[in-house]
Amino acid sequence: MTLVVRGVRPYGEDAVDIVVSDGVIVELAPPGTAAGEIVDADGLVALPGFVDLHTHLREPGREDAETVRTGSQAAALGGFTCVHAMANTSPVADTAGVVEQVWRLGQEAGLVDVRPVGAVTVGLGGERMAELGAMAHSAAQVRVFSDDGKCVHDAVLMRRALEYVKAFDGVVAQHAQEPRLTENAQMNESELSGRLGLVGWPAVAEEAIIARDVLLAEHVGSRLHVCHLSTAGSVEVVRWAKARGVQVTAEVTPHHLVLTEDLVATYDPVYKVNPPLRTAEDVAALREALADGTIDIIATDHAPHPHEDKDCEWAAAAMGMLGLETAFGVAMETMVVPGRLSWRELAQRMSTAPAHIGGVRTQGHELVPGAVANIAVVDPEGTYLVDPTKLASKSRNSPYAGRTLPGRVVHTIYAGTPTVLDGALA
């Protein structure tokens, strides 16, 4: 079967017909010339399918919030062709058995590559290293290891994990949060937290761990990935480490690129997230760092929660926000529309680099003949009105309800097969 994405502009450049056969791009033909099953994309922009390095799919354990299938649907609608499922499930993804289960559920859903992330420590307990090798050599071929939600705060354990994963070219993705400095923390520590009477999550609790970890990574010659970097100070630390040649990569979430702590004054827990929303100065620094490459990628930290875990008072609420279906729109609004990133740079930040960090060989390819046909087709002129009741995700905790985001994901093609056509699941 031959699929033709007709009249599309790869990276916003000259229009072509992208010809796909057997899951691979075989030709970039002059627009309107190729024959086959036609996907109309006249004037739209083609990018390599997005790769999310940080997704919570909640299965196994919290199928009331999300399943691998519903999360895959949300991902496809957001233009993603690959997601990395975080390990903080129940049971925790700390054995080959659990990661294989998640991987298999992903295969069965068949909408995106679901790449399980393995826990660094048993049960995310921060005390004993999980069987990282078994997970790496399982059918799931885990390459990213993270205790996300918890910090690997023991310096020796972190050092060992960084060293150990070198054997199979893995990477430790650190949730940088010094636990003692953030006990019972509810929001960014600031003048506002003092006024609202909410326990503060100081920036230094993130920055101190990142500083320690880049030095550890340098010392043992390992790769380090920093999850959801959220402060201007963290940017400075990573910039410094990169200048020294440390093998460190970093991600920023869409919400940290656009939302600020002021929203917490509503006490609406839809804005409760970890790391917390920070200040406008932090947001500006994160955008700049994503533009100049200090921050390598956008990762959603898609964190579904059932309604009752958000429809309550602030302190009782769960932390986290949905992100898969709105990530592209936020990236458009904050980075592409203001001219901070070109289309090719956006493709780098949302597809190529995350695929590379995660060791996913079939993703993030440049849109040229020979590439696996993972393609997001977007309309830069379109808009997307966020209506949480219409999301594919099982949960509704989007902080963008009622907001109109620029750009629209029109089609998503996963390994040569359309998963989304005209903004709806194919």
**Given the rule CB under 8 A, which residues bind another protein?**
186, 189-200, 202, 266-268, 308-309, 311-317
Question: CB of 275: closest distance to another protein in angstroms?
Answer: 16
**End-to-end Cα distance, the chain:** 17
Question: CB of 243: closest distance to another protein in angstroms?
Answer: 31
Per DSSP, the three-state class of 293 is: coil
Q: Which amino acid is at 210?
A: I
Alpha-carbon gap, residue 72 to 74, rounded angstroms: 5
Question: CB of 181: closest distance to another protein in angstroms?
Answer: 12
Question: CB of 83: closest distance to another protein in angstroms?
Answer: 29
Shorter beta-carbon distance to another protein: residue 200 or 407:
200
301 is catalytic: yes
HSE-up of residue 35 (Cα within 13 Å, Cβ side): 0
DSSP state of 321: B
Sign of CA dihedral 90, 95, 97, 103: positive
Rg (CA), the chain: 20
Per DSSP, which regions of 61-112 are E strands?
A: 80-85
Give one DSSP letter per residue of 159-216, joined into a string. Answer: HHHHHHGGGGT-EEEE----TGGGTT--EE-SHHHHHHT--EE-HHHHHHHHHHHHHH
Question: CB of 246: closest distance to another protein in angstroms?
Answer: 31
Class of residue 263 by CB neighbours under 10 A (exposed 0-12, middle 13-18, buried 19+): middle
HSE-up of residue 225 (Cα within 13 Å, Cβ side): 30
Q: Which helix (H) or strand (E) holds 136?
A: helix 132-136
Residue with tokens 């901070």: 340
**Beta-carbon contacts of residue 51 (< 8 Å; ≥ 6 apart):** 80, 81, 82, 83, 350, 351, 354, 355, 358, 360, 363, 364
Shorter beta-carbon distance to another protein: residue 35 or 199:
199
Shorter beta-carbon distance to another protein: residue 186 or 352:
186
Q: Are 418 and 70 in contact (CB under 8 A)?
A: no
Per DSSP, the three-state class of 372 is: strand
Shorter beta-carbon distance to another protein: residue 190 or 222:
190
Shorter beta-carbon distance to another protein: residue 201 or 328:
201
Shorter beta-carbon distance to another protein: residue 15 or 319:
319
Q: Are 413 and 20 in contact (CB under 8 A)?
A: yes
Count of positions (residues) in the chain: 426
Catalytic choice (213, 301, 309, 379): 301
Shorter beta-carbon distance to another protein: residue 70 or 190:
190
Shorter beta-carbon distance to another protein: residue 262 or 308:
308
Question: CB of 314: closest distance to another protein in angstroms?
Answer: 5
Question: CB of 209: closest distance to another protein in angstroms?
Answer: 20
Which string of b and e fits 284-323 if b means at least 16 CB within 10 Å? Answer: ebbbebbbeebbbbbbbbbbbbbeebbeeebeebbbbbbb
Which string of b and e fits 217-244 if b means at least 16 CB within 10 Å? Answer: bbebebbbbbbbbbbbbbbbbbbebbee
Question: CB of 206: closest distance to another protein in angstroms?
Answer: 16
Catalytic residues: 301
